[in-house]
């Protein structure tokens, strides 16, 4: 069917060697025929030849680009989700670290107070020992 349209368009009974074969992809042949008939309606033979030579490849590339674009968007969304998860984890660790730091600071403060009391008690005990010797 595609060969019949090509034969009638090029004016001879010979098939066009530049015409891509679409036996394994009937939807591509339909797309090519639609595009060629649109070019024929425009009446520009250059557009017809361009469509015959490059139309199928252009549509294939457009489909590949659209597929890659969709895959890239999906990867971008997954990356954003992962980065958001990392940000949440960093915030959790930051809060946990701050709480641990505050707890350690309180423990150190309590230990310093205890050492201060012991030193004071030792000082008071030594003063009483000195007073008892005198």
In this prediction, residue 42 carries a pLDDT of 64
Tell me the domain boundaries of the chain: 2-133
Q: Work out the pLDDT band at 20, boundaries 50, 70, 90.
A: very low
Mean pLDDT lowest among 31-40, 86-95, 108-117: 31-40
Q: Is the pLDDT of residue 18 over 60?
A: no
In this prediction, residue 22 carries a pLDDT of 45
How does the average pLDDT of the chain come out, rounded?
A: 78
98 to 24, 64, 91, 103, 110: CA distances (angstroms):
65, 50, 10, 9, 18
In this prediction, residue 134 carries a pLDDT of 61
62-68: long-range contacts at Cβ-Cβ below 8 A with a sequence spacing of 24 or more? none
- Residue pair 28/56 in contact (Cβ under 8 Å)? The answer is yes
pLDDT tens across 46-101, in order?
877 888 888 889 999 999 999 999 999 999 999 999 999 999 999 999 999 999 99
Q: Work out the pLDDT band at 19, boundaries 50, 70, 90.
A: very low
């Amino acid at each position: 069917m595609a060969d019949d349209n090509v034969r009638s368009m090029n004016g001879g009974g010979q098939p066009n060697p530049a015409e891509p074969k679409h036996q394994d992809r009937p939807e591509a042949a339909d797309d090519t025929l639609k595009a060629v008939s649109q070019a024929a309606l425009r009446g520009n033979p250059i557009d017809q030849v361009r469509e015959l030579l490059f139309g199928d490849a252009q549509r294939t590339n457009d489909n590949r680009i659209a597929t890659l674009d969709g895959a890239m968007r999906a990867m971008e969304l997954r990356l954003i989700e992962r980065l958001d998860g990392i940000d949440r984890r960093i915030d959790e660790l930051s809060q946990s670290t701050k709480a641990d730091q505050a707890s350690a600071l309180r423990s150190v403060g309590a230990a310093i107070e205890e050492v201060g009391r012991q030193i004071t008690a030792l000082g008071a005990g030594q003063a009483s020992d000195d007073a008892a010797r005198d």
